[in-house]
């Protein structure tokens, strides 16, 4: 399906990414698939994101109960 690659569509997809939050107890695979769909959307809008940015968006979507994982991954050697 053709999608207009205008600024409004780009803002809307980023707004969806920014608002996305994992809910404790919900399906993590479903959450990751949702993020992947939004990332695919940015690519279709010719707005590809670097791998590091993608990882940061995923970590940012996690709630506070996942903070230890975020800290551990943040302190890991590249």
pLDDT tens sequence across 4-25: 788 899 999 999 999 999 999 9
The neighbour count for residue 66, using CB atoms within 10 Å, is 14
| 54-71 tens-digit pLDDT | 888 999 999 999 999 889
- 47's CB contacts (< 8 A; 6+ apart) are 10, 13
**Distance in angstroms (rounded) separating the CA atoms of residues 46 and 58:** 20
Q: Residue 78's pLDDT is what? A: 66
Q: Residue 3's pLDDT is what? A: 63
Q: Residue 70's pLDDT is what? A: 87
Q: Residue 1's pLDDT is what? A: 43
| 30-60 tens-digit pLDDT | 999 999 999 999 999 988 889 889 888 999 9
């Amino acid at each position: 399906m053709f999608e207009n690659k205008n600024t409004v569509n780009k803002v809307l997809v980023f707004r969806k990414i920014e608002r996305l939050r994992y809910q404790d107890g919900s399906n993590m695979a479903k959450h990751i698939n949702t993020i992947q769909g939004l990332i695919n959307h940015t690519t279709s809008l010719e707005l590809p994101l670097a791998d590091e940015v993608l990882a940061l968006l995923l970590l940012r979507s996690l709630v506070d109960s996942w903070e230890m994982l975020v800290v551990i991954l943040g302190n890991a050697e590249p």
